[in-house]
Amino acid sequence: MNLDLKKLTSGLILIVGLIFFLLSITNNNLNFALISLTSTLIFWLLYGLLLDVFDVRIFAWIILVSGFLVSFSVFFMFGIEEVPYPVGAIVFHSGGFAAALGIGLFSLFPILVLHQLGATKTMEKVDGGHEFPKEETDSEILSEEWEMASDDDFQSGRFDIG
């Protein structure tokens, strides 16, 4: 199969899963939305591994985006409630707010790991890329023609520093 067709099919799998997720969320069915999102990610992952088009960086970004989608969904379904009196009042629930923040935080981990691995690889390239040539130590200082200075030589002020 052509590589472009493989990537197109891979993207199509993700788009169909996103559509199912959004349709389920608009119907206030978080359970089916999570099932569709998780099964789409598993199917996309297996497809990428079997056809050898899997990229870890793309996977990390997809985990980030899907985690934020779930986080926003949890926040708007369980963290915010509109109450009838006074008109237009909104109540924030700490449990839904905390769950949304936790899901958002954990969805950041793959990106942070990739960033850290990229930073260490960059540092290895920078540090290991330049090696200075070692000078040979056959200079005058290590020559056998020199003698140790005595205390009288130090106090006289007439000596050569090597």
Confidence (pLDDT) at 143: 62
- Residue range 77-119, pLDDT digits in tens: 999 998 888 888 899 999 999 999 999 999 999 999 999 888 7
Strand partners, 116: none
The DSSP-derived string for 61-109 is: HHHHHHHHHHHHHHIIIIIEEEESSSTTEEEE-HHHHHHHHHHHHHHTH
- Spatial separation of the C-alpha atoms in residues 123 and 136, rounded to whole Å: 29
Nearest-CA neighbor of 25 among 69, 66, 90, 80?
69
- Spatial separation of the C-alpha atoms in residues 120 and 147, rounded to whole Å: 49
Q: Provide the percentage of residues in the chain whose pLDDT is more than 70.
A: 78
- Work out the mean pLDDT of the chain and round it to a whole number: 85
Residue 36 and residue 24 in contact, taking contact as beta carbons nearer than 8 Å: yes
- Residue range 24-48, pLDDT digits in tens: 999 999 999 999 999 999 999 999 9
**Contacting residues for 18 by C-beta, under 8 A, at least 6 apart:** 40
